[in-house]
Every structure is written in C-alpha cells, then in structure tokens.
Amino acid sequence: NLKSHVRMGQYGARVNINLLGLFPQTANSRWDLAVSPHIYAVTTKADIQTIADEAKVMKGSTNWHLGYGADLQVGYQLTSCLKLGIYSGLTRLTGERMDGMPEHLHKNNFVWESGIRLGISFTKAKKRKMMETSTIPQPEVQQQLTTPEENTQQQESAAKADKAETKVAEQDITETSEVKFPVIYFDFNSIAINPDEESKLNEILHILKENPEMKVTVTGWCDTRGSVAVNRRISRQRAETLKVWLVKKGIAASRISAAGKGSDGSREAQKARRVETKDNHQ
C-alpha cells in the first residue's frame, strides 16, 4: 500500500492566441477563448510513501524533463485592471517517469492541469487635460504733455480710433462665436448609436449643412472598464459610426476626421462612453 508524492517545477514560455479576436464580430468582446501552446523545462522529485502513515519508503532525486502541450482558457475582462479565466491543459513530459514508479506499470507521462486564473494589469489610463488658462497682456498707459491744439487733434483721432476699434471688436466677436455640438452617448460595450440620440444626430447634421465650409473632428471615448487596447478600438469605432451616419446623410467624408482616444477616467462611466464633435477652427 504505497503512494508517490511528487513535487514539480516549470520553467518555460507560452503563447496565448485569442480565437475570438480573429473574427470582426467578436474582436472587441470582453470575453476571450484562448489556446495557449507551451514548452517547459520541468523538474520533478518523487518520494514513495506508505498510504497509512505517509512514512517515506524511498526518497527520490530531482529529474529534468522537456514538457510540451497546450491549454484552453475561457476568460472575461472584469475591469481595465482585472481579468478572470478558467483553464484546462495537458503537458507531456519526456524522460524518466515523473512519479518514480517502474515503467512497466504505466507508459504515459502526462500532467493534466485545471484551475482559475486571475490576471492583474498595472497600466493607468491617462486623464485628459480638461482646461488650459492663459493671461492676456494688458496695454501699457503712457502719459505725455500736449498743447491745446494737439490735444484737440488727438481727441478727434482717438474718437475715430475708438469707433474703428469698436467695429473691429464687434466683427471679431461675430466671427469667433463658438459652435457647440451635442454629445452622443453610447451603451456599455456598444458601438451602435442609441435611437434616443437621434435628435442630437439631426442637430449635428443641421449645423454642418448650414456651414458648408466647416470641417470637424469627431472623437470617441470609453469608460475605464476593459483593457486599454480594446477601449482604444471601441472608441475609434464609435467615432467612425457617427462619421458614417453623417456621410450617408450627405456630408462629404473629407469634412470629417474620426479619432479614438480610449478610456476617460475623469468622468463617470455613463458620461465617458461618448463621441464629441468639434469645429477644427475653434
């Protein structure tokens, strides 16, 4: 009534291939189905013990093996930092029997593993710089003595200059008035525009039709759930969705640039999943 107690160590490399990432329909999913071929240098040390009291009958020595095989894992991206997966895999070992038993008792030398993996990412999403302030230099005031005639001429010139400056100021205010576009919000893990946002879409379309020379940039964002790479793709696709809709409604594609900025940690999740539209000249 004997048993074998085996201690094992693994040193090697594995390649993770996400099968869902090979198809456009599931490339941006938080789920993944990964096949992981691997090759290891494996150490085993087997002690033969009695089943009744676990007393050592024979102490084994350390053996080295070449191990190769593959794992299959189903995983889900919980947040931008955490990923949970369930896996099962098989590794075949070369060389001596890993359990110290004679070869005639069994011919196979495999290791079968199953378990749960928790992945932790330490990357931080950069917050956007929301506002920049600048100081406006004030004109210097100079004092000088003038004669009455010069003073009269200067007053007339100043009055004309004030009128001209007033007209220029009014013109500048008219020309630099900011156009505000509504923000389009998206559901979690979706690049489709919600029907509730239709009025905002029509408002953006109306502004662009009223200003045929205007060129804009549409920028997509995501919340902080999910990996950095996935969120960058989804944010870009959200911007492209708005661009495609506007082009179908008659706006030239050359007037619209689309960009994806990935995660935005400066806002709550519901407000972070959005596409913003901005005039390129503002």
Please report the pLDDT score of residue 191 as a whole number.
Answer: 94
Q: Dihedral of CA 140/141/147/151: which sign?
A: positive
SS3 label, residue 217: strand
| Greater pLDDT, 197 or 103 | 197
Q: Are 72 and 35 in contact (CB under 8 A)?
A: yes
The mean per-residue pLDDT over the stretch 242-269 comes to 94
Across the strands, what pairs with 138? none
The mean per-residue pLDDT over the stretch 73-94 comes to 91
Per-residue model confidence as pLDDT tens digits over 191-246: 999 999 999 999 999 999 999 999 999 999 999 988 899 999 999 999 999 999 99
The mean per-residue pLDDT over the stretch 132-139 comes to 42
Instruction: Provide the 10 A C-beta neighbour count for residue 185.
Output: 18
Q: Are 125 and 262 in contact (CB under 8 A)?
A: yes
Query: How big is the chain by its Cα radius of gyration, in Å?
Result: 35
**Of 179, 199, 194, 226, residue with least CA distance to 75:** 226
Strands 256-263 and 216-222: parallel
The alpha carbon torsion through 168, 172, 174, 175 (nearest 10 deg) reads: 130
- What single-letter amino acid sits at 56? K
The mean per-residue pLDDT over the stretch 1-9 comes to 81
- Rounded to whole angstroms, how far apart are CA atoms 52 and 2? 8
Please report the pLDDT score of residue 198 as a whole number.
Answer: 93
- Rounded to whole angstroms, how far apart are CA atoms 275 and 218? 6
Q: Are 9 and 42 in contact (CB under 8 A)?
A: yes
Structure tokens at 221: 């964002």
Structure tokens at 64: 């080295």
The mean per-residue pLDDT over the stretch 144-150 comes to 47
The mean per-residue pLDDT over the stretch 80-97 comes to 89
pLDDT band at 63 (very low <50, low <70, confident <90, very high): confident
SS3 label, residue 114: strand
Please report the pLDDT score of residue 143 as a whole number.
Answer: 44
Please report the pLDDT score of residue 115 as a whole number.
Answer: 94
For the chain, percent of residues with pLDDT exceeding 70: 78
Nearby residues of 53 by Cβ (< 8 Å), 6 or more positions away: none
Lowest mean pLDDT among 63-72, 104-113, 136-145, 266-275: 136-145
Per-residue model confidence as pLDDT tens digits over 8-62: 898 999 899 999 888 888 877 889 999 999 999 999 988 887 878 878 777 878 8
Per-residue model confidence as pLDDT tens digits over 154-191: 555 555 555 555 554 444 444 446 789 999 999 998 99
Helix axes 228-248, 198-210, angle to 10 degrees: 60
